Chain A
């Protein structure tokens, strides 16, 4: 899992980066809010970001606000770092789009617990996104079956996207979870019975001759 640490205090950044690296996270450190915004704006990976509240260029809350406005569907978990006396500002940070906050200097156990929550949320969102993709693919397939199908008027084969004509049965089986049970309808049964009877007569006539 990728973690972005944004803090202009290199001591705070070093402690965070080393701690998270020890927990096997892939950590990137930046020193101001503008760099944090650029990284988060461009990434397509699920990312947990730990953003200092007070930073040069852009503060942590402004980074959160921009991310939520411009990348509302991005799989990003945003944590704000705040000092103890700024705790009253936590509501403002959460309203700006942060998912959680940490008080500086952080307690390692608390950091681990909060980061674990973030990882869980990111993983859950990733799983949901995959399910949505699967459902979308299934929906596309259903739409294709409901759409206009080119069918041969004589043999009733259907032309697929690959221009290959195939039996209705195999066409549907390939594009859906439908399964066929084979039987005979009453109208066809009458016709089939006539054919069988004629075949039987022909057979007995040829035997008699």
Chain B
């Protein structure tokens, strides 16, 4: 479950991460919006194939990108799926992927709003 007491996307943390560079913040948001669909597609395919190594690497990439954007929900959900992939607990992968997709579904509108 997503912890609703935290914000989906921590602008203050992003501001600190980028030392207040607004242009860089917008570039990062744009990159995430561009890359996220392909990252998710790769993870979905890996889950469908039951390929732990690909689940791990795909989730790892998405986790890293989300962490730099201070999008903690997505980063946490991706980290969970990465652990599942690493440990080969493939039976849990589908549920973990659903959790990740729900987190991403919450994040993307926030990012699109921030981009404007």
**Are the CB atoms of B63 and A22 closer together than 8 Å?**
no
**Are the CB atoms of B21 and A104 closer together than 8 Å?**
no
Candidates B17, B24, B64; contact of A9 at CB < 8 Å: B64
With A54-B60, A105-B67 given, is the CB distance from A11 to B19 under 8 Å?
Answer: no
Does A58 belong to the interface (CB within 8 Å)?
A: no
List residues of chain A with CB under 8 Å of any chain B CB: 8-12, 14-15, 18-19, 22, 54, 83, 85, 104-105, 108
The 8 A CB mask of B22-50 against A (1 = contact, 0 = none) is: 00100110011001000000000000000
**Minimal Cβ-Cβ distance residue in B for A86:** B60
Instruction: Determine the main DSSP class of A at the interface with B.
Output: helix
> How far apart are B43's CB and chain A's nearest CB, in angstroms?
15
Count of interface residues, chain B, beta-carbon cutoff 8 Å:
23
**Minimal Cβ-Cβ distance residue in A for B28:** A11
> How far apart are A27's CB and chain B's nearest CB, in angstroms?
13
Candidates A10, A15, A104; contact of B35 at CB < 8 Å: A10
A14 to B64, CA, bound (A): 13
Candidates B27, B60, B63, B67; contact of A14 at CB < 8 Å: B27
**Minimal Cβ-Cβ distance residue in A for B62:** A9
**Are the CB atoms of B57 and A11 closer together than 8 Å?**
no
Candidates A8, A18, A85; contact of B79 at CB < 8 Å: A85
